[in-house]
Structure formats: C-alpha cells, structure tokens
Amino acid sequence: MIGVGKIKQYSNVLDKPLSKGKQEVSLSAFAFLFSELVQYNQTQVDNISELERRLEDAGYAVGARVLELLCHRDKGNRRETRLLGILSFVHSTVWKVLFGKVADSLEKGTEHEDEYMISEKELLVNRFISIPKDMGTFNCGAFVAGIVRGVLDGAGFPAVVTAHFVPVEGQQRPRTTILIKFAEEVLRREARLG
Amino acid sequence: MAPVAPRSGDAIFANVERVNAELFTLTYGAIVRQLLTDLEEVEEVNKQLDQMGYNIGIRLIDEFLAKSNVSRCVDFKETAEVIAKVGFKMFLGVTASVTNWDADGTCCSIVLEDNPLVDFVELPDTCQGLYYCNILSGVIRGALEMVSMKTEVTWLRDMLRGDDAFELQVKLLKQVPEEYPYKDDE
C-alpha cells in the first residue's frame, strides 16, 4: 500500500528525499538524551578515560555521518582536501549545522605544528552538565571531540582529538577546547601539496 | 479559575531553546548502535531503550508541567490528547494524533505522523526484532507514572518494520491514589 495515507513510504531509505536539515527539536529533548548516553556509559566503565573513550566512539559515529550528509547536501558531493579547508569546514559548516552557530574560535597550537584548537565558551553538550569533584578532568565534550575526529577521519585527515576544560579569567565556568593533533602523514601530505 | 490547558504545543515549542534535529537523530542512532554492540541481544536492547526512556520520562514531566501550563487533566482521554498535541510538540517539534479508543476510555493509540528519531534509519536483517523507538514508550510510561498513572505502552505499528505509521498503544492499568508523606513530622 505504498503511497496511501498521509505518510509516504519508501521501500529503501535512499529513495527518500534528503531532508533540508531545518527541522528542530527542543534543547531539553537533546539534553535528556545526552544525559542518558553519559549515564549508560558510566555503567559500562571502570575509569574516566574509558568513559571518555566510549563517548568519543559514540561521537565518532555521528561525525562520520555528518561528513557524508553535509558533503552531499551542502557541498555538491565535494569535500575539502586541504588542512585549513577541512578545519574551517569543521569550525564553520559542521558547527553551524549541529550547534546552530559557528565555533567561538579556531587557533593553531603555538608549541606544536600539528596541533589545532577549536574552542567554545559554552559547548552545547556541557550546558546542563556539572562534573562531580571525584571525576577530575572528565569532560563530556569527549562526545564532540569524537564528532570532530569522525569528520576528519572520514575526510582523510586522521587525528587524535581530545576535549579539555580551560579556565577563563572572570568567568565562572571554564570553556571547552577541542584539541586536534593531526597524524604525521597528514602533515607530510600537506607539505608535499605546498 | 484554573488556566485552560493549551490545545497545542506550538507556542511553547516556539519559545523554548531548540537544536538541530539531525544532531538529535544521529546521537540517538549512536546510542542504539552502542547498545547493540554491548548487549548483543535485540531483546535486551529493547529493554534498555525502554529503561532510558523511563529515566527521561520521570524527569521530563517536571519540565513539561512547568512550561506547559497544563492543569490537571479530568480524565485519561484528556491526558492522551495533551501528550499527543502538547507533549510531543513541545519536545520533539512534531504532533501526534490520538485514535482507537476502547469502550471504557482506558486504552488508546497515539499515532505519530512524523518521527525525528528515524531519519536515515533502516533496520538491517539482523535487527528485525528491534523496536528502534522504544525510548519513546519508556518516556510516556515514566512521565505518566509521575502523575499517578500506571500504564503499559506498546508499539502496534512501526514504519521501520514496514508499517504505514508509528502507533503506540497506551493502556491505563491503574490510577495510583496520591500518597502524602504523612510521616514527615515524625
């Protein structure tokens, strides 16, 4: 009975027209869901780094899909091939779609050539999160770090991506910095391309 | 006079902070995938999703009551309407409809015309027994339990399983009388 009734059915998900990505849900709905993700993963681990790794894995799965979706929808099936291009794609396009705004800043690390940082004063996923004292430096931004790693990896820029709290003077809450450390091969390729 | 319950959640949804539905959809997908990897059995995943929904439901009801201005519903019929028209809209931005009432008004179906959880989703052969959206049934069950209604929520139709809509059957098992903490003063 395909096509009968209000909702059109598709035999295959790929036949379905791609949504424009303008649909929204309430922030609370996302926050509730995210909190369940974190709580569930807490039951599966013994320590903080394991928890961060699991959140990062969940994020990675999101990132890989976001890359595919955005390249197809927004960039006419093209993707960035240069380092700065892909970084600004993450900082602007990806951030805008996922979090409704461009990330607060994108900087190059001063000490290491292969490090870049995306910082956000109030990361969406951390909005309603307060870290208990006994959990030390744990940052739920690991999920976002995973998203970034998923996008970069999928685009051919393997990197180690981590999330850190950085205290800001005059602010009660620290900002979150997503630290991206590219694999050696990425920098070598970049140097070759000139 | 008690404030009149809003008949739609449009105005509330317009006023709350919102996020892109794709972030929500993909995050939910990531959760389901993690559960499938960890728990292996589809049945277990259904249970865990329902539990997560329940956890959300018992917290979400507070926000719902605070923001929606809904006063006490006179009967279960009104409750179901409010969930479909105000609840779903306020949190997920979609509206549902209520149908298939039984004779004594304790069992009905909530039909979803649009479901942000399932964009991009297709069930592989290995997951045919999965109730992908089982979190929703948990949310409804948990939220209603906090307002003294024990319910049973089951999926009747699921588009991911080839049906033409998403249909949740909500069955009122019993109204729990409100218990006051009488022993508070002791």
Please determine, for residue B30, whether its predicted confidence score (pLDDT) is greater than 70.
Answer: yes
Residues of B in contact with A74 (CB under 8 A): none
| Cross-chain residue pair A23–B20, CB shorter than 8 Å | yes
Q: What is the pLDDT of residues A63-113, one digit of tens each?
A: 999 999 999 998 888 889 999 999 999 999 999 999 999 999 999 999 999
| Cross-chain residue pair A19–B119, CB shorter than 8 Å | yes
What pLDDT is stored for residue A15 in this prediction?
78
Q: What is the pLDDT of residues B89-113, one digit of tens each?
A: 999 999 999 999 999 999 999 999 8
Stretch A23-27: mean pLDDT, rounded? 95
Residues of A in contact with B28 (CB under 8 A): 33
Looking at the domain assignment, is residue B4 inside a domain? no
Least CB–CB distance from A30: residue in B23, B114, B164: B23
Give chain B's end-to-end CA distance (angstroms, integer).
36
Question: Domain span at residue B155?
Answer: 19-175
Looking at the domain assignment, is residue B152 inside a domain? yes
Looking at the domain assignment, is residue B6 inside a domain? no
The CATH number linked to B31 is 3.30.1380.20
| Cross-chain residue pair B24–A57, CB shorter than 8 Å | no
H or E segment and range at residue A105? strand A105-108
Looking at the domain assignment, is residue B103 inside a domain? yes
Q: Kindly report the number of other CB atoms within 10 A of residue A139's CB atom.
A: 26
Give chain B's domain count: 1
d(CA A1, CA A10): 11
Residues on chain A bordering chain B, Cβ-to-Cβ distance under 8 angstroms: 1, 4-7, 9, 12-13, 19, 21, 23-30, 32-34, 36-37, 39-41, 44, 54, 57-59, 61-62, 65-66, 69, 97-100, 124
Looking at the domain assignment, is residue B158 inside a domain? yes
Stretch A7-33: mean pLDDT, rounded? 82
| Helix extents (H) in chain B | 10-15, 21-39, 42-68, 76-82, 88-92, 134-146
Please determine, for residue B6, whether its predicted confidence score (pLDDT) is greater than 70.
Answer: no
% of chain B exceeding 90 in pLDDT = 81
% of chain A exceeding 70 in pLDDT = 94
Please determine, for residue B186, whether its predicted confidence score (pLDDT) is greater than 90.
Answer: no
User: Which domains are present in chain A?
Assistant: 27-193 (3.30.1380.20)
d(CA B89, CA B11): 9
C-beta separation of A16 from B118 below 8 A: no
